[in-house]
């Protein structure tokens, strides 16, 4: 039987979620770059322009979902890269904890910023 | 029954001349992934100036965008993001078992397309920085 090379656990769902978020991010990251560099130019950015976009519920919710999926995909990717390098035991547990805390901080900070632009959830 | 493939130690860069297209794709995907996740944290930190005041945010972004080095780094970021997207699509197809026989050519296509998109984007990314 062939040796198994994957960094993911057998039967785990993280492999699938890494692919699902990848498919979503391919489209949203391309949209993000296009909108903020080609439609709007980066050097013309102002708080008011960002605020106008964020006050639209569709855009606001897309950006929150973008933050959540990018954080999961990025942090899960880092974790798998480290597992692939052979970390195990206490180091693996410590890495998992540090990455978990870093993700939580990033998401909280990102959501706070989005809310500051939108002036609350734009419902 | 699936076949195993002894890729050798990727950490042994002394044998980089023996690396196949798939190995380079793996290395580039890891490298661009690390850059992107690092940038994600930096990006949110910079955007967080919006929590201070609208003026702090506008001033921070416009000051950064006025620096040539930042614009050049943004071109680099675009290159990294476009490659990660295109190679990511290639990986999704590989995972689905589609185009396995062309996985080396699709890697070269990802590189070429990344180069073309980045070169075509340079004027837009550098617009206005020279005064």
Of B3, B89, B95, the CB nearest to A26: B89
Q: Which chain A positions have a beta carbon within 8 Å of B4's beta carbon?
A: 2-3, 5
DSSP state of B12: -
Question: Quick check: B58 contacting A, CB < 8 Å?
Answer: yes
Measured between CA atoms, how close is A38 to chain B, in angstroms? 7
DSSP state of B66: T
Contact B89 A50 (CB under 8 A): no
Contact B121, B75 (CB under 8 A): yes
CA angle at residue B45 from A73 to A96, to 5 degrees? 40
Question: Quick check: B42 contacting A, CB < 8 Å?
Answer: no
pLDDT attached to residue A123: 85
Question: Quick check: B97 contacting A, CB < 8 Å?
Answer: no
pLDDT attached to residue B5: 57
In order along chain B (131 residues), what is the average pLDDT of each group of 10 residues? 57 74 91 97 97 95 94 96 96 90 93 97 90 70
Q: Hey, what domains does chain A have and what are their CATH numbers? A: 14-118 (1.20.1300)
Q: Which chain B positions have a beta carbon within 8 Å of A67's beta carbon?
A: 44
Q: What is the pTM of this model?
A: 0.89
For A31-63, the pLDDT digits (tens) are 999 999 899 888 788 999 999 999 999 999 999
Mean pLDDT, rounded, for A51-80:
97
Q: Which chain A positions have a beta carbon within 8 Å of B33's beta carbon?
A: 74, 77-78, 81
Measured between CA atoms, how close is B18 to chain A, in angstroms? 20
Measured between CA atoms, how close is A59 to chain B, in angstroms? 16
CB atoms within 10 A of CB A63: 21
- Scanning chain A, the segments in alpha helix (DSSP H) are 14-33, 47-54, 57-84, 89-118
Contact B121 A37 (CB under 8 A): yes
For A6-25, the pLDDT digits (tens) are 666 777 788 899 999 999 99
Contact B44 A77 (CB under 8 A): no
Question: Quick check: B96 contacting A, CB < 8 Å?
Answer: no
Contact B124, A38 (CB under 8 A): yes
pLDDT attached to residue B109: 96
- Scanning chain B, the segments in alpha helix (DSSP H) are 21-47, 54-65, 68-95, 103-126
pLDDT attached to residue B1: 45
Question: Quick check: B89 contacting A, CB < 8 Å?
Answer: yes
Contact B85 A113 (CB under 8 A): no
Q: What is the ipTM of this complex?
A: 0.90
């Amino acid at each position: 039987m062939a040796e198994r090379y994957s960094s993911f656990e057998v039967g785990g769902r993280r492999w699938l979620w890494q692919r699902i978020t990848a498919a979503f991010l391919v489209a949203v990251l391309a949209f993000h770059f296009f909108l903020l560099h080609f439609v709007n130019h980066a050097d013309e950015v102002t708080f008011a322009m960002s605020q106008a976009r964020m006050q639209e519920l569709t855009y606001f919710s897309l950006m929150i979902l973008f933050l959540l999926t990018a954080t999961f995909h990025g942090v899960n990717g880092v974790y798998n890269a480290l597992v692939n390098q052979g970390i195990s035991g206490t180091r693996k547990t410590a890495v998992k904890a540090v990455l978990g805390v870093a993700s939580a901080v990033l998401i909280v900070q990102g959501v706070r910023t989005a809310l500051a632009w939108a002036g609350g959830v734009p419902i | 029954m699936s076949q195993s493939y002894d890729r050798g130690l990727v950490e042994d860069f002394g044998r980089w001349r023996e690396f196949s297209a798939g190995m380079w794709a793996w290395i580039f995907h890891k490298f661009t992934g690390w850059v992107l996740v690092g940038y994600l944290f930096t990006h949110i930190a910079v955007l967080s100036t919006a929590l201070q005041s609208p003026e702090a945010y506008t001033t921070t972004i416009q000051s950064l965008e006025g620096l040539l080095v930042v614009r050049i780094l943004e071109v680099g970021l675009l290159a990294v993001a476009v490659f990660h997207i295109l190679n990511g699509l290639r990986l999704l197809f590989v995972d689905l078992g589609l185009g396995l026989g062309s996985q080396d050519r699709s890697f070269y296509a990802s590189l070429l397309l990344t180069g073309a998109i980045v070169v075509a984007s340079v004027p837009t990314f550098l617009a206005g920085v020279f005064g």
